[in-house]
Amino acid sequence: MNQRYGDISFEDRMAQVDFRVAEEPHIVVDTDVCRSCTTKACVHACPANLFVPTAEGGILFNYEQCFECGTCYLVCDGGDAISWSYPDGGQGVVFRHG
Amino acid sequence: MRERAGPASTAVIVDQPRRPDFDAIVVGAGPAGSAAALELARAGHSVALLERGPFPGAKNVYGGVVYGRVLDELIPRWYDEMPVQRWVTRRQTMVLDGERSMTVDFRSQNWGSAPYNGATTYRAEFDEWLAGHAQKAGAVLVPSTVATRLLRTESGRIVGVRTDRPDGDLTATVVIACDGVNSFLAKQAGLVPGDQAAHTTLGVKETLALPRKTIDERFGVSANEGVDIEMLGCTQGIPGGGFLYTNAETLSVGLVLGLRGLAESGRRPEEILAELKRHPSIQPLVRGAELVEYSAHLIPEGGYDTMPRLVGDGLLVAGDAAAMCLAAGIWLEGVNFALGSGMYAGRAAASALAAGDLAGLREYKRLLESSFVLADHKKLRKAPGLVLSERMQRRYPGLVCDLVEGMFTVENPRPKPGVRKLLRASAKRHGVTLRELARDALTGLRTFG
Amino acid sequence: MAARAWCSGMADPLVVVLLRWTDARARIDPLSGEVESDPRGAGPSEADRCALEHGLRIAEAAGGRCVAVTLAPEEATELLRDALACGADAVLRVAVAPWDPRVPDSGAATARALATAIRAELGEPSLVLTGDHSADRGTGSTPAFLAAELDCAQALGLVRLSYADGELRALRRLDRGRRERLAIPLPAVCSVEPAGLRLRRASLPSTLAARTAAIPVVAGTVEAEPVTAHAARPLRPRAKELPAPREADPRLRLLRLTGAHEEREPPRVVVTDDPAEAADELLDYLRGKGYL
């Protein structure tokens, strides 16, 4: 709620982007690995804000509004914690002004 | 188990196909892939052009300007038909520090008429246009299809790709991987060395709508002329930079952030972008504009020294997949290198196919070296290191602004200080020794000279 | 009628699936109200995709042909290629001029153009399938007009559709969670809701074949009946007449009119931090309304 005048909320920002949501997730996080991760870089580095830390130290993840950039698996310190792939052909983000 | 393309995917071992489905498969209908497919199809070879998005360009984001000169070789008078938003006639390099900024502003009306120089565009339109040329030449575009794995024989020759469609194996004599910065195919072929996160940056971009007239007035341009601004010192100390360019009725403003620096900073990308948009030099340009799209994409910024091997057995790598992005501070180019590398990959593949000898694929490397694609990268191989260095990112923007502020602040009755004295003082204030300054200047001269 | 139906053992029943080419993410200018659409994002709606899947399955079960038809400008060719790749035996585009916002919608004209083209190019259909609110600009009137044009039965709002032993059976969604089981006589026009199944993913060989296939086109027109303006005045909806309540006591009549003391489900605001609880609430609501 610390939104400044002139900014738009993150939800509104993402609402401007066309996502064709696939039936199956293309990101799966092994939260057991996350519990021992101290940095949790994916949480703030993901430009779509898909990763949310939970109180138990794990990670809650979404795949629906993913830009498919690959930042999360590249910054992940936990080795194989994030199983990442492109969504099925034709699904996922569709940029019009990229 | 559904077929997917990711960091964990591996090549499939298959038998040598007796009769391949196509002469060549090009994976990815971006500028590199479409240029490659166009060359191959024109040479009379059968080509499948695979694209994972619903249309070419759907997954692609770029940071400012398409320099289309290399298209002279592919499409005569391309500038008459290419989907252009504005032709860049004004180019600025801006150094920001706190609430200050120093800008070098160059304008040339020569760039606003044929044969032009750089253009701004939407990738959905540009990529589709180029893929359309490849299709007209005879390439078969297959959209909404992910190439998940390479098909490889026991002996290591690449003979095709597996796709995520049912019954999805596709074979060819040559595969050209133009599958972008994450290039899982180049990785499966074992061509990619080292730590990708260290030399990859994240680009985030907002496209903001403004009336055409407002853009013309704010940026001092008219008709189809446009502006491209490259920025340094706007990333809160994270190695990277910023950009702002004009489209017909939108602005695109964005940041490029080194992944390692971003991960360590604990900052969110859109927050840093919001701060840039509040800078007194940027805020008046973007004020009142309405967000029409937010986008993000990775950029391979490591340059020549981080490129994968470009030729495998039956496989060529081009475009972002081959790290063909030139991020050298004053030059920020990528689409032209993708076009060039794709074109030469297509050309090398076509002649290898015609000769019936895949050893001819090695010609690709030679074509690249004798052209701008690798010549520029080789020459500027030290540039990414210099531009993304701690001094360039965190100290020089403040130093430059201090120096210029000192020069133009009139403190009468005190007489004007000498530039040398100002330089020494501001260097000291920012913890830069004159020796370091001289060394970086020399590296800069050697790199760019 | 029965002579036309496939259950009579007539060879080669024809299942026509009508696909409406539309941009589901069209932008509307908040000031001018102008609609901006982008052919790149356009395609069939989810309901139409469901209709195609139904069509493919029914044609397979009946040993007939499934043909995808759209009434759209040239950009819609991609949509037909996708239908071919998914397994449609043939496709047809009824060419019309690009959408002109000044021309009024007409489900009747759309239906007429479609019926004419289908009869001329494909013959008498045994079953016409479409998504709910399809074929024209989503007025929802086209299937009814089409049934009239083709002189056959109509069923709409279908959530399930199956063909077995020469009989077409369907489940229709009604309000308040009710369902209606239908045995649909053939020939028929059926419109389906986006529920129950998803369009199959096309195989690579059929996708490749569809990429270079010729897409037949016939010219069509959707000239709407000219609108005659009888009078121009501000819109003043007429007062709605309600029968007077039967109660003898004026106070009771008044209460009845205001709706006070009447049994009904009060609106509720559900606030929960627990995602599982929130999901249960949503599911209960959807079940209650008959969506699940």
Predicted pLDDT at C96: 86
pLDDT of residue C271: 75
Which pLDDT tens digit goes with each residue over B105-145?
Answer: 999 999 999 999 999 999 999 999 999 999 999 999 999 99
| Per-residue pLDDT tens digits for B179-233 | 999 999 999 999 998 788 899 999 999 999 999 999 999 999 999 999 999 999 9
For residue C8, the model assigns a pLDDT of 42
A96–B293 CB contact, under 8 Å: yes
**CATH (residue range C2-219):** 3.40.50.620
Q: Do B181 and A70 touch (CB under 8 A)?
A: yes
Task: Tell me the C-alpha distance between B150 and B152, whole Å.
Answer: 6
Residue C103: pLDDT band (50, 70, 90) is low
Mutate to test the interface with B, among C29, C34, C40, C201 (most CBs of B within 10 A): C40
* Averaged pLDDT for residues A71-90: 91
Q: Which two tokens stand for residue B51?
A: 């694209």
- Across residues C279-292, what is the average pLDDT? 87
Structural domain range at position A38:
10-94
**Other CB atoms within 10 A of residue B296 CB:** 26
Q: Is residue A63 part of a domain?
A: yes
Pairing of strands C217-219, B66-67: unpaired
Segment C200-226, tens digit of pLDDT: 999 999 999 999 999 999 998 777 666
Contacts of C271 (CB under 8 A, 6+ apart): none
| Gyration radius (Cα) of chain C, Å | 23
Residue A34 lies inside a defined structural domain of this protein: yes
CB atoms within 10 A of CB B318: 36
Average pLDDT in the B293-319 region? 95
pLDDT digits (tens, 9 = 90+) for A37-64: 988 999 999 999 999 999 888 899 999 9
Interchain CB contact of B290 with C (< 8 Å)? no
Q: Between chains, do A89 and B5 touch, taking CB under 8 Å as contact?
A: no
CATH number at residue A56: 3.30.70.20
Peptide bond into C243 cis (omega under 30): no
Burial readout B386-398 (b: 16 or more C-beta within 10 A, e: otherwise): bbbeebbbbbbbb
User: Looking at the complex, does the CB of residue B263 fall below 8 Å from at least one CB of chain A?
Assistant: yes
So what's the pLDDT on residue C210?
Answer: 96
Q: Give the pLDDT of residue C10.
A: 47
Supply the pLDDT for residue C291: 83
Give the DSSP per-residue string, B14-67: -PPPSS-SEEEEEE--SHHHHHHHHHHHHTT--EEEE-SSSSTTTT----S-EE
Q: Supply the ipTM of this predicted assembly.
A: 0.93
Is residue B243 scored above 90 in pLDDT? yes
CA–CA distance, B236 with A84 (Å, rounded to integer): 29
| The pLDDT value given to residue C102 | 62
Q: What chains are in contact with A, requiring at least 3 Cβ pairs below 8 Å?
A: B, C
Instruction: Establish if A2 belongs to a structural domain.
Output: no
Residue B13 pairs in a beta bridge with B152
At C274, the amino acid letter reads D
Taking the Cβ of residue B166 and every Cβ of chain A, the question of whether any pair is shorter than 8 Å is answered with: no
Quick one: pLDDT at residue C266?
75
Domain ranges of chain C: 2-219, 250-289
Residue C34 has pLDDT above 90, yes or no: no
Total tally of structural domains belonging to chain A: 1
- On chain A, the residues whose CB falls within 8 A of the CB of B28 are none
pLDDT digits (tens, 9 = 90+) for B43-84: 999 999 999 999 999 999 998 899 999 999 999 999 999 999
pLDDT > 70? residue C59: yes
pLDDT of residue A56: 87
In this complex, do C204 and B124 lie within 8 Å of one another by their Cβ atoms?
no
The reported pLDDT for the residue numbered A4 is: 47
What is the per-residue pLDDT for C220?
85
Q: What is the distance in angstroms between the Cα of A55 and the nearest Cα belonging to chain B?
A: 19
Higher pLDDT, B439 or B33: B33
